[in-house]
Structure 1
């Protein structure tokens, strides 16, 4: 039997655009309140004004160690508990490894891996104390296949697949479900460095999906009865060749 999200409190990182915004809107439509985490204060202000009182802004720069560390305590100063943590914020590097630079690699690994681990680490004591919770991570089909045109990104998502599945095993006895959603290419800012001709070809061939199709999968997983854990959902465009 499907569970209701009415009255639940969710935290979504990278919430001001793309998959994070779609997830926020989907959660709100199901009756949840959502703490929208993003570094872009102006974008958060515009989103919360549009979405209403159940959308709560939390300005956090996940790449700043002190800001990242303060995220969960700051949120618990605004809401009395957290039912759902959706670690969605991330960035992308494509192309050959020797075409990028060490600083860009550090930034991507810090956001795609380290920030997620630190956010999960911070929320665990709170969820353990309550004896319930859901932790979800935006992974990627690149976390299941060695994608030759994105070795750094693919490597970061393989790390997330391992992390999510180990944490699922650690936390299940505490009533905390852990899972990931692994989309193929999604229309979002993460694909900004794709060559224009490749992006246009993907759109024309139906090899790319919308953020709402990822948020639909998230809602499905979150609304399963507590006796069910959806550990991973791979969401692919039907025409995607991989």
Structure 2
């Protein structure tokens, strides 16, 4: 895929680790300049030092509304354009609802839903003006199945599934593609909150994906002919069984 994204500028939120980092590195390998949005300054610096000038660190706390609103202006200040948004930042709350911390619920819904909507809202005028753009949102298999061990997390992803399908219908006339990637369980820090017995069962059975697997599908979505939108990709380990 070398050169497939030559001349493109991408923004990846939650870029310092997991799916965001894998997506970032895949886009860099394809020739894009990538703005890495995260709040982990040390991780961003290490990644950008490793990848050179094509990787641009943008330290933002997306849960701070004022900071979140600076994303597009700061990107344009450094790059002059934005072609791709991978809205990937998210967090996880699992387990029984009765045991969940209300503060954690607020934080997760803000990051998984509100921040995604605000990021997309903010970049759309620029993309509409240029009559081109790609928006990919990291969703989850949980958006398509009412997983009983994660009602709060699954609900946030069901909301995103609706958001993707409705916004796509509003903006395709402007040359903008909107899609989501819905992986099953991926080996990232988000699994830290999984029930221990379920995580061990998944590891033992080979029922987990690698972040690089997800990044490969993101690249597939981005490199289709402009007349084709890959709106939803559900991917899961072959051995995974709900």
1:14 paired to 2:14: yes
1:141 paired to 2:141: yes
Cα shift readout 1:8-54 (whole Å, capped 9, x = no counterpart): 11000000000000000000111111000001111101110011110
TM-score (norm 2): 0.97
TM-score (norm 1): 0.97
Moved over 6 A (4+): none
Alignment of 1:200-215 (within 5 A): 200-215=200-215
2:209–2:237 CA contact under 8 A, matched in 1: yes
1:132 paired to 2:161: no
Cα shift readout 1:77-103 (whole Å, capped 9, x = no counterpart): 111100000000000011000101211
Instruction: Tell me, in whole angstroms, the C-alpha distance in 2 between the residues paired with 1:164 and 1:77.
Output: 28
The count of aligned residue pairs is 240
Structure 1 segments unaligned to the other structure (5+ residues): none
Does 195-204 or 50-59 show the bigger shift? 195-204
SS in 2 for 1:85: strand
SS in 1 for 2:28: helix
SS in 1 for 2:233: strand
Cα shift readout 1:95-153 (whole Å, capped 9, x = no counterpart): 00010121110000000000000000000000000000000100001001111000000
SS in 1 for 2:202: helix
Alignment of 1:151-166 (within 5 A): 151-166=151-166
Cα shift readout 1:195-226 (whole Å, capped 9, x = no counterpart): 33322221121111000000000000100000
SS in 2 for 1:192: helix
SS in 2 for 1:57: strand
Instruction: Tell me, in whole angstroms, the C-alpha distance in 2 between the residues paired with 1:14 and 1:104.
Output: 18
Structure 2 segments unaligned to the other structure (5+ residues): none
2:94–2:153 CA contact under 8 A, matched in 1: yes
Alignment of 1:77-226 (within 5 A): 77-226=77-226
